[in-house]
Amino acid sequence: MTTPTSTAAPRPPRRRVIQAAALTAGALALPLTAAGQAGAADTPRFLHGVASGDPLPDGVLLWTRLTPTADAAPGSGLGPDTPVRWQLATDRDFTTLAATGTVTTSAATDHTVKADVRGLRPDTAYWYRFLADGVTSPVGRTRTTPAADATTDRLRLGVASCANWEAGHFAAYRHLAARGDLDAFLFLGDYIYEYASGAYAARGTVVRPHAPAHEILTLADYRTRHGRYKTDPDLQALHAAVPTIAIWDDHEFANDAWSGGAENHTPGTEGDWAARVAAAKQAYFEWMPVRPSVAGTTYRRLRYGKLADLHLLDLRSFRSRQAAIGDGAVDSADRTLTGRAQLDWLKAGLAASDTTWRLVGNEVMISPVAFLALPDYLLRPLAQLLGLPGEGLAVNVDQWDGYTHDRRELLGHLKDHHITNTVFLTGDIHSAWACDVPHEAATYPASGSAATEFVVTSVTSDNIDDILKVAPGTLSLAAAAAIQAANPHVKWTDLDSHGYGVLDITADRAQMDYYVLSDRTKADATTRWTRSYRTRTGTQQVERVHAPVT
């Protein structure tokens, strides 16, 4: 019924140590069949799982990667053109097909397969699979979104960011997949990391090595790194269980990327920045179940009936270079985080929204955070974590704090247009936060709050206690208390856990439940709920809740 479209894109970016501070079992995450795993060298195999993404009321994007011959590894440029058939059904036994089609994959797309299926029913579960030369892929389950004008009682998203392969296992994905109650998985950036093996691991220890071992620079490099990530069984299980909604941050390119370069990119020895960006973007859109949006970026908008719309940002492709710490340029109207077109698009979308909730998928923290009041023994490790100078200043220049003109314009827009129920969903800083987003931090709470923000911690990437190689809580509890004392709009922060969040939305409130892993370096790590915060309709304030949503 539908023919998938091929996906490509433009351009690429290097990082320092972090900155600033039951659907998976059974048919959904089926292990590869004997036919899919073994056989002659020229037997096609689906070694990288299946995924779906960017759900719409009438469609969804399907993804897989075929290994047509043994030598056709990710990034190799080898392997023949091969037709792959995809099937979408209303039942897991595939007795009733809703759509089917064929796409020929080749080395030109690294043998990835994408099918942008349309003509589907709103708010409906579907099962999908791929077939090539008698071999069948694992089966995935996906779901379309409600019709735009539908009354929707609830939306529940798994939320994660910052998954460094060398720093641990992706048990967080396994626990999210096993819930069986998620509408989608929202990933907020740093799906892969670009570093060479050993350059950024778990407290300096490589839990499992990158491929390739060197820092990734070329299209083949980025493809190989994406391919290594997609071999993780827990990552495969989550992608097979629910549709994914993803944006990138800097490590999909290089650390602290901006429109003209990155902290972790040296033009003289690492080639042309624009070529690196082009390679990184092409590999990302080949390997991720994401539709390219404006100018080959990830900023776009999705909707869940009349309950919520989701505005997804790209805060790397258009930003000005990060200002020097202490430079008054952070306030300059000539510098931008979003780019003019994207900021206008966001403002217009928020003003035109007729949903109860306006969710913003946000790569870097928008809530202002001051660190000047911290004692030296806490300031220095936080400075390393958050990208601040050792002497301390009240700005993290890679975040919205470094682009205050854009922030003032956006928050002023919310105020002037009486836009309420705006929730920023953020990753990046390897720590968990619940914040009011104040109109003026210096006069909060008198000045009021424009929005709220929930920040999820890293899946595996190092945080403050990891950087210092001390026991969790050794310094972070005192640091968190000092941060909250200096920033009353920050209601809570956890600086030393790894895990994920579950966002539950109803007409009355938006609640984030925070979960932490027992040990990110263990594939069988357990998980436990640690905190919950919510914002009630119309309040623009977060409050603690003493139990997770069930």
Ranges of each domain in the chain: 155-545
Distances (CA, A) of 147 to 41, 52, 121, 293, 480: 46, 19, 9, 21, 42
| Rounded distance between C-alpha atoms, residue 285 and residue 288, angstroms | 5
Report the candidate in 11, 59, 488 with the shortest Cα–Cα distance to residue 278: 11
Q: Which CATH superfamily, name and number, covers 155-545?
A: Alkaline phosphatase D (PhoD) (3.60.21.70)
Is the pLDDT assigned to residue 374 strictly greater than 80?
no
* Intra-chain end-to-end CA distance of the chain, in Å: 39
Taking each helix axis from N to C end, the angle separating 273-287 and 219-229, rounded to the nearest 10 degrees, works out to: 30
Is the pLDDT assigned to residue 15 strictly greater than 70?
no
Q: What's the pLDDT at 443?
A: 86
| Average predicted confidence (pLDDT) for the chain | 89
Highest mean pLDDT among 256-270, 377-391, 458-472: 256-270
Q: pLDDT, tens digit, for every residue of 194-228?
A: 999 999 999 999 999 999 999 999 999 999 999 99
Strands 449-455 and 432-438 come out as antiparallel
Taking each helix axis from N to C end, the angle separating 171-179 and 233-241, rounded to the nearest 10 degrees, works out to: 30
Q: What's the pLDDT at 330?
A: 83
DSSP 8-state code for residue 30: P
Q: How many percent of the chain have pLDDT more than 70?
A: 88
| Rounded distance between C-alpha atoms, residue 451 and residue 436, angstroms | 6
Q: 159: which strand partners?
A: 186, 501
| Rounded distance between C-alpha atoms, residue 299 and residue 178, angstroms | 29
**344: helix, strand or coil:** helix
**Count H helices, E strands: the chain?**
11, 24
Which range among 51-60, 480-489, 495-504 shows the weakest confidence by mean pLDDT? 480-489
Tell me the helix, strand and coil percentages in the chain, rounded to 5: 25, 25, 50
| Rounded distance between C-alpha atoms, residue 63 and residue 288, angstroms | 8
CA gyration radius, the chain = 22
Q: What's the pLDDT at 376?
A: 57
Confidence grade of residue 384 (pLDDT, cut at 50, 70, 90):
low
Which residues have CB under 8 Å from 93's CB, separation 6+?
none
93 or 327: which leads in pLDDT? 93
| Rounded distance between C-alpha atoms, residue 337 and residue 188, angstroms | 16
Which range among 3-17, 259-273, 443-457, 466-480 shows the weakest confidence by mean pLDDT? 3-17
Taking each helix axis from N to C end, the angle separating 340-352 and 404-416, rounded to the nearest 10 degrees, works out to: 20
Q: Across residues 5-17, what is the average pLDDT?
A: 31
**Tokens matching residue 386:** 């958050």
DSSP 8-state code for residue 456: -
Confidence grade of residue 241 (pLDDT, cut at 50, 70, 90):
very high
Q: What's the pLDDT at 468?
A: 80
The answer to whether 17 and 200 have CB atoms below 8 angstroms apart is yes
Amino acid occupying residue 334? D
Q: pLDDT, tens digit, for every residue of 255-310?
A: 999 999 999 999 989 999 999 999 999 999 999 999 988 778 999 999 999 999 99
Q: What's the pLDDT at 137?
A: 98
Report the candidate in 508, 431, 440 with the shortest Cα–Cα distance to residue 475: 431
Site of tokens 């790397």? 316
